[in-house]
Structure 1
């Protein structure tokens, strides 16, 4: 008979209770007795708890994501459902699935995840960025921190006459909580809204970083005052302050150089040694313990300071993020949010007087944070809608506020009633703020309506503005080959803006580096080879080509925002994007990058000018003799995109080194229907007909085609003849010339003709440029 042993264990809120000491492992289902179920063992119970939490969280997220409800909300709602408010009211539910004697395991696991989350956010933050921000961001950041603190102190003093002595600590800590808006919450919100790389997103991140650093600086004297008051002696507070400062100095003077030493001794292109990752992981947990025993009450404060000491970006910062991001952000931190929700009991809210005061405090605190950002934004002449959007983002609440609340609850600083009320406030804010931001700031409509940013609208002797995007050095060389035949002259020069796209690793804030300004940023060194290629090209054609190079470091899902915003600011006419597939010299496909493809699709939807996708096959060996001329062909079926492709080809044909062929494909059965599109096509082809009769390097011909297979035959016959074929992306879907071609399209975003020419079956060194003319309002109606 198993011995009945008991042990004193802490309850969920530090209540001491007597609980049975449960064994860790189950002996197996066949060895269980009637009175000894599997839920009497710690590990099986923990596994069942995790399964219940994750299944319910994912189910709620799948149900609510169509309403744009964030994961933070679904995680808290899961905890509320499993807690005493709902399922906890069922007799025996909590005792069976979430017993008190087992809760400490779930609590420890969740807190470990949150510690890693805060550490990673510290790793991703770049304190040096604060020195590069302007007066506008500094003013907004300082005002949005100091005004809530000042108003909170006034409000706390005013409310002392209306509340009893025992409730004052609770009220004061809630007022203090309303003065913070942590950087991790802002970064997560911008990521959920997919506006991290937008102008508003960049300002919000910079402002949030300033606010976070100011809050860290203010935390030291506040902690000194609190410990002095609780210990009844300024000596106790002074000792805590000295230990606190010593802790920070140790990290800065000892650990920061150690991190730099690790980076120095990591060979370029090689991963950081696993032993270093292990030591840093241990340091994260130790810093949390040290910070807790220093009396800060915030067990995550030490890991945040340690994360700030880690140099941002690769190799060390990105290695830490790669190792711990999925475990922390994907599994353990959501578990912590759910666990906080499980401690919430809305049914115990009964004191209407305290409830009314808390509601007033929460409302005033939120409004004060909003005003603290809104007024400085208006003072710097930010548009009203943008100022409102920025203020809403900086007023958001989320995971850090819930962690602080739960810490107050466990330390008996906060009552369960107050905890439930403030949790409800965090939940409401996390629901409302994203909806309001989406309503006020729709990034997808930023550029729609701006016209005359395409090649067709430009005059032949005007400066041609081309925006080139590259991921690797091969993309740069392919783009230069295209620029070479774009006929740069002194009367009609090329203005080229180059954007090297790099994936954001180990940092939270995206970077846009202007190499013409000579910015000394370590991350820019990875772009050096690509920039050197374009510098050489500019020097070779001095006076004919002007190149401005940039590097964008951001997450792939936001790279299209960097491309579109920079092309918009620089008044570009054409954006050149590299195709997501690459071939070797034998014609074998060696790269198929879905991330690059996704970026191209998003740019095509949002671009403020025309877009071209360049399919580069120049590496394939040609069997036929190489021609001294660049042989360019345009396949013309009609429409805006084909007219844009023809306009670009006509500019190329002004160079005697380019031989241009324009092939018009028309249906055998001509309906004779005359519309505006047909008139525009005819007018654009008149000039080509005239040039073909006057110039030897321009040829025009027409082919009658009855169906899609006939078109495919003609297209494939051109692959061995030409070096570059330019086609439009969109054509009339009901055209008999294209019948059946799109049904088997492997890359439908290139259009019917572009998909034929970009097929992996093509083994000739013919490059393809698929052109889409700029979207405008009348096209989208």
Structure 2
């Protein structure tokens, strides 16, 4: 039988030295489509096992070399494995193996025609236990359509000319599609195009096509790997930026998506197995994957370690919260004294029915010995203990009593966490994320009346300040805060001051004051603005931080224009000494002083005061208040706004 030939008409761009596409007939398209039906054993046989990448070639060779003694029915089974035939063969398709499908008459049934078929006439029917020796006729797929399709075999119709791209994309040939492709390939001079007719026999066609495709650089491997990596990174990086993720987290996501593993290596092996790329290209692709993944791994580890573990996409601060919505607060409690301070602060925060407080509390208990860390939720339906024998029970009962007296204005969700001080910040931050907290309240680690400092609480406070997913406030109760209960229950006034030097933390302190305390009828508010002398406020020359400060102050003034309980004082100072003088003059006029924790260390008002910063979690100005008698017995609230 004569071996049929396959014809291709190649359109070559001589200037770019590339093949644009091939004009082919039905026989070539049928041949390409028939590749999808080849068994794996047939592919190995055609390609030569020595050219196979991986272990499939070794498996084929093992079957060849295995002695017939170890094989059941060696003549049939060995031939079935080494020379498998397509399960279905379409008429007229020039398969690489020819039309060696199963021949008609090779299948048998039992005499009772039960629904069992075999190719062995000695087999026993499982239903009637008789030999299955009655021959039946096998009808190949597509045979029934021969009359209706004009006796055409194969997969596609022969009245159409087809176009095959160098990436094996097949489409019908038309003038419009040809012109569109010329435009796609940026062909400007059609005189540089050349037609070339190629003949190839069907049996060696498979390696011949692979050779042509390799020569025509279907896979310009280095460029393909670079393009693939770039697309994976940018495909994750750009949407992440669009949805307000930080650039660091977006890069981290892109690098993670770019990591290549076993799936990619398997894909490279398949490409080499079907000879769409040669072994040299395979080596380049594998090496590129190793380099790209190897470079991505340390970058991912570095970015993940340096990225904040509990950072959120949106801002959870008081300044960014909406009006007349619940204020979600998490109070961290270590003892009963902390519990009373937190309740008194909530009273001053002025919860209302239109703007209530959702208060979550955690009573932290240090783990002892080899106990297992645990978190206990004291659900709302649990009754208060009539005989509170433990500190946790007493603390929970105090907050339950406060909730009952302020129904509709305050809701309380208490928890007890037993863990080490070095791990307490994890529980606080996780609960803050889960409950969408806007402010975490921390007690100061030092008792000012006794001078006792708790190193464990200080460690926790530092960790929370560094990792918090929201704003943080450190409360220092110097003895006056407890008096707010009686003050607010009668007509007496409770004086609160805000020291404003500028910066995000000072803006958060002012927002806390403006949103809540200034609305209470018995609280008088004083805002003390410290400015550098001869400082000209030109909005065009201001930095972004200065503009934010100015806008916040103007908004506060506008909202409190008709509030006679609000006083605004502006003090001009030359340097840090002037700042200390203003703080000293505050005396004991106020029961509470609110200020920001962090300030610009290069500011002329702060740079001279850095020597005072002995307690880093309080900041420069907070440390001045804590280490001196400035402010008298006033309670201090240090605010830190959530960082991006």
TM-score, scaled to structure 1: 0.41
Higher helix share: 1
TM-score, scaled to structure 2: 0.49
Q: Using CA pairs below 8 Å that are at least 6 residues apart, which structure has the higher relative contact order?
A: 1
